[in-house]
């Protein structure tokens, strides 16, 4: 039963993505794919995954225990905090904090997790800002 609910939710979310994508206004000067391509791809993949789960539900789903559900809720909380802190802290600092916490929860040690978060943050910054030229949220330090 829970798989069918998840599949239906995924289909509804994919339909919502497609509907919202039709509301994106484009200017006459845009790249060949335009801003609608990525949301349409995400909606397509999400819709196919939802259809698969609806067609082949697990007869006896294996639910995580209460402790694991708390960890999942904390990870979701970190992602919400990341989105809220991104404008004020900037991309590098917010990403370093969020990635560091998630690395720690995925098994990195207390010394390796902050270092991994910083390396991940600087690596993504280098690729997206320095190489691809995309603008990222600037923090109080200008990056």
- For residue 37, the model assigns a pLDDT of 82
Do 70 and 37 have their domain in common?
no
Do 36 and 76 have their domain in common?
no
Residue with more model confidence, 75 or 60: 75
Q: Residue 70: is its pLDDT beyond 90?
A: yes
pLDDT in tens, 86-118: 999 999 999 999 999 999 999 999 999 999 999
pTM: 0.67
- For residue 1, the model assigns a pLDDT of 72
Do 127 and 103 have their domain in common?
yes
> Which residue's structure tokens are 């991104």?
86
- For residue 49, the model assigns a pLDDT of 95
Two tokens, residue 50: 């939802």
pLDDT in tens, 28-65: 666 666 777 888 999 999 999 999 999 998 888 788 89
Q: How many CB atoms lie within 10 A of CB 113?
A: 19
Q: Residue 69: is its pLDDT beyond 70?
A: yes
Question: What percent of the chain shows pLDDT beyond 70?
Answer: 94
- For residue 131, the model assigns a pLDDT of 87
In a domain, 47, yes or no: yes
Do 50 and 70 have their domain in common?
no
Last residue of a domain, one of 36, 55, 74: 55
- Would you call 143 exposed, middle or buried from its count of C-beta atoms within 10 A (0-12, 13-18, 19+)? middle
Do 72 and 105 have their domain in common?
yes
Phi first, then psi: give them for residue 33, nearest 5 degrees: -80, -40
- For residue 29, the model assigns a pLDDT of 63
* DSSP designation for 91: H
Last residue of a domain, one of 10, 36, 55: 55
Could you give the 3-state DSSP secondary structure of residue 62?
coil
Do 22 and 48 have their domain in common?
yes
Q: How many domains does the chain have?
A: 2
Instruction: Answer for the pair 12, 51: CB distance below 8 angstroms, yes or no.
Output: no
Domain with 47 in it: 2-55
What are the residues whose beta carbons fall under 8 Å from the beta carbon of 126, sequence distance 6 or more?
Answer: none
In a domain, 61, yes or no: no
In a domain, 140, yes or no: no
Using CA atoms, how far apart are residues 128 and 67, in angstroms rounded to an integer? 36
Do 30 and 75 have their domain in common?
no
In a domain, 8, yes or no: yes
Q: Residue 138: is its pLDDT beyond 80?
A: yes
């Amino acid at each position: 039963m829970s798989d069918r609910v998840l599949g239906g939710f995924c289909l509804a979310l994919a339909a919502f993505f497609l509907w919202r994508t039709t509301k994106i206004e484009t200017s006459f000067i845009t790249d060949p794919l335009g801003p609608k391509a990525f949301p349409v791809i995400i909606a397509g993949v999400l819709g196919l995954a939802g259809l698969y789960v609806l067609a082949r539900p697990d007869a006896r789903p294996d639910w995580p225990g209460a402790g694991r559900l708390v960890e999942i809720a904390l990870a979701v909380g970190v992602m919400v905090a990341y989105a809220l802190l991104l404008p004020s802290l900037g991309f590098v600092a917010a990403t370093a904090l969020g990635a560091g916490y998630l690395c720690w929860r995925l098994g990195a040690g207390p010394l390796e997790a902050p270092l991994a978060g910083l390396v991940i943050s600087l690596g993504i910054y280098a690729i997206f800002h320095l190489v691809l030229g995309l603008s990222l949220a600037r923090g109080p330090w200008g990056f």
